[in-house]
């Protein structure tokens, strides 16, 4: 089973910090992530996770965010543009939050990434706009938290990715494992 969407923007930033400037193209490298990005590497690069254990595998090589979240946030009065919330790839037309763990996304002609989990919205979002972190959290029908700040992935096959490229989703075989924060 697969579904289709498109890439709205691609972003990267060499240093840590929430916002990532948009680029004409980003290069994904298998097992490492976005070339030139602060989170590039086989081992974890997220600062709090490095302090816990710097030898953990990097399950957060690529951050994807759905542009539909920007629309939702705009309706609440927030001005959020592609890359501002730290994502590397902004998509439209893909239910990122509904994907199971292990789903693969084919980005453009070559790149293939595998979804590892949800991004947990962090307090740094409030540095962009007061209340933005809370706006990226919701509650499901059962009262469980719903994290809306996108998904994380690892690069399985490298390639160049640009705005306008197609996104094709392939679901894993077998039982579908819901996404959890990584």
Domain count, the chain: 1
Q: Does residue 57 belong to any structural domain of this protein?
A: yes
pLDDT digits (tens, 9 = 90+) for 135-178: 999 988 999 899 999 999 999 999 999 999 999 999 999 999 99
Q: Does residue 175 belong to any structural domain of this protein?
A: no
Element (H, E) at 174: none
Q: Does residue 11 belong to any structural domain of this protein?
A: yes
Residue 98 belongs to domain with CATH number: 2.40.33.20
Contacts of residue 153, Cβ cutoff 8 Å, sequence gap at least 6: 61, 62, 63, 64, 105, 113, 114, 115, 116
Q: Does residue 48 belong to any structural domain of this protein?
A: yes
pLDDT digits (tens, 9 = 90+) for 74-124: 999 999 999 999 999 999 999 999 999 999 999 999 999 999 999 999 899
Its domain, for residue 131, covers: 2-170
């Amino acid at each position: 089973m697969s579904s289709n969407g498109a890439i709205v923007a691609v972003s990267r930033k060499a240093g840590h910090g929430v916002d990532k400037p948009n680029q004409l193209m980003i290069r994904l490298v298998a097992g490492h992530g976005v070339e030139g990005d602060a989170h590039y590497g086989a081992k974890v690069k997220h600062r709090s996770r490095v302090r816990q254990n710097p030898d953990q595998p990097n399950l957060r090589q690529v951050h994807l965010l759905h542009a539909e979240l920007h629309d939702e946030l705009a309706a609440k009065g927030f001005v959020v543009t592609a890359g501002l919330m730290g994502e590397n790839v902004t998509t439209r037309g893909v239910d990122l939050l509904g994907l199971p763990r292990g789903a693969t996304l084919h980005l453009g002609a070559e790149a293939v990434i595998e979804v590892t989990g949800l991004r947990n919205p962090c307090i740094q979002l409030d540095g962009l706009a007061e209340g933005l972190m809370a706006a990226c959290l919701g509650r499901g029908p059962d009262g469980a938290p719903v994290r809306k700040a996108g998904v994380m992935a690892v690069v399985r096959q490298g390639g160049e990715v640009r705005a306008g490229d197609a996104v094709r989703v392939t679901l894993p075989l077998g039982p579908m494992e819901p996404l959890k924060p990584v």
